[in-house]
Amino acid sequence: MDAARRRDVAPRDESIAPGSGTPPKPMKTVLFLCTGNYYRSRFAEILFNWTASAQRLPWQADSRGLQLHAENPGPISPQVVRALGQQGIHVAEPIRFPRRVSESDLQAADVVIAAKEAEHRPLLEHDFGAWVDRVEYWDIHDVEVWSPNEALPILTRRVHDLVRRLLA
């Protein structure tokens, strides 16, 4: 792994504006949603935070699940950790366990993105009906349809497109 590209992903300190004596811009938040907060949304969150930090974009990401699965064998998909590592991104320890989305999570976010419209719109309609049309939907299939080798490159492109859009 290229040591120059490797960075641990951890929350950023908003109290210091690097290289300046001016106060930092207020941090905005993007919230990534998937079903279990174990695979797609976690990958998007960590990749976004790493990319936004590298671009000095005053945004941070968080992620949540709409319907957590008790059968997840740990806090995050090993495929996510491996794919991020291949991009030079180290997932900082301790790795948190999946979290279920709440109304306050949705309210706190400036942008909310769900990984797959056909899968997540019905879950949002059921639990958070007022949010259905305020969420941006992507079309990233879960592992039952696409392997990580298919899904994660597309998710990477979508996250990079989002960062470019927010920089504009």
pLDDT digits (tens, 9 = 90+) for 78-121: 999 999 999 999 998 899 999 999 999 999 999 999 999 999 99
- Assign a CATH topology to domain 26-167: Rossmann fold (3.40.50)
Give the mean pLDDT of the chain: 89
Judged on CB neighbours under 10 Å (0-12, 13-18, 19+), 165 is exposed
Instruction: With cut-offs at 50, 70 and 90, classify the pLDDT of residue 71.
Output: confident
The torsion angles phi and psi of 7, rounded to 5 degrees, stand at -145, 140
3-state secondary structure of 123: helix
- Distance between CA atoms of residues 41 and 32, nearest Å: 5
Q: Is the pLDDT of residue 66 over 90?
A: yes
Paired tokens of 65: 């699940």
pLDDT at 2: 41
User: The pTM is what?
Assistant: 0.85
CA dihedral 74, 163, 7, 61 (to 10 degrees): -40
Average pLDDT rounded to a whole number, residues 40-63: 98
